[in-house]
Chains A and B, each alone.
Chain A
Amino acid sequence: RKEVEQDPGPFNVPEGATVAFNCTYSNSASQSFFWYRQDCRKEPKLLMSVYSSGNEDGRFTAQLNRASQYISLLIRDSKLSDSATYLCVVSTNDYKLSFGAGTTVTVRA
């Protein structure tokens, strides 16, 4: 079983729509959780960290459910520039990052 699993999508949504997707992780000892964004043929960049209480950054909301071992990301009022692959990233105490394969989101005009 993969350490981090994501729905690959793609999620094709119109501008202004809300899109949400999840990620599950297998290691219950995981300590830190992140969403990274990766554009085609580019390096990943941190979108947001995910905190136990859930957190919001502008149009992006992240939730963590430790009991069920999943993380979610919700994007409100989608923009064309939100089109990217979103990587779920999990880390344990050894500071190694485990990446999901990514969820592709395409926002159309």
Chain B
Amino acid sequence: GAVVSQHPSWVICKSGTSVKIECRSLDFQATTMFWYRQFPKQSLMLMATSNEGSKATYEQGVEKDKFLINHASLTLSTLTVTSAHPEDSSFYICSADPLQGTNTEAFFGQGTRLTVV
């Protein structure tokens, strides 16, 4: 299957700092990638849709100025958590579909476990 690589796998940062998470499609091009957040024992919640070459589309309730998304190329999307606080501690995960627009299997990155202290 298609490979989506996410980095870093885990990160611990101090409150007030910013953290950048990278999501790469290794063997396909992705004009669209999705960013999710998952709190313990809860479902994955879509945060935003990352669109190559244009602005991301954020879900209701997600602060676009806090969660900066950049999709500068067809294989890379980045999520930057700015001025992180302990309540931002969560499992962040990206996904992409190699067959864009066909609503088939989504492939996920390995996820990033963020802990803000």
Contact = CB atoms under 8 A, between A and B. Distances in A.
B109 interface: yes
A8 B46 CA distance: 20
B49 A96 contact: yes
A43 B109 contact: yes
Contacts, number: 51
By DSSP majority rule, is chain B's interface helix, strand, loop, or mixed? loop
A91 B108 contact: no
Interface stretch (A13-21, A55-63, A75-83, A99-107): A99-107
A4 B101 CA distance: 22
By DSSP majority rule, is chain A's interface helix, strand, loop, or mixed? loop
Contacts of B44: 44, 87, 97, 99
B101 A95 contact: yes
A43 B43 contact: no
B101 A43 contact: no
A109 B14 CA distance: 43
A49 B105 contact: yes
Given A43-B93, A45-B108, A31 B43 contact: no
A31 B93 contact: no
Given A32-B103, A95-B101, A95-B103, A42 B43 contact: no
Contacts of B45: 99
Contact of B34 (A96, A100, A102): A96
B110 A43 contact: yes
Nearest to A93: B103
B106 interface: yes
Interface of A: 2, 4, 8, 31-32, 34, 41-46, 49, 87, 91, 93, 95-102
12 contacts: A8-B41, A31-B103, A42-B110, A42-B111, A44-B44, A44-B108, A45-B108, A46-B106, A96-B49, A99-B36, A99-B44, A100-B43
Q: Which 10 A-B pairs have the closest CB atoms?
A: A43-B108, A101-B43, A99-B43, A99-B44, A32-B103, A46-B105, A43-B111, A95-B103, A43-B110, A91-B103
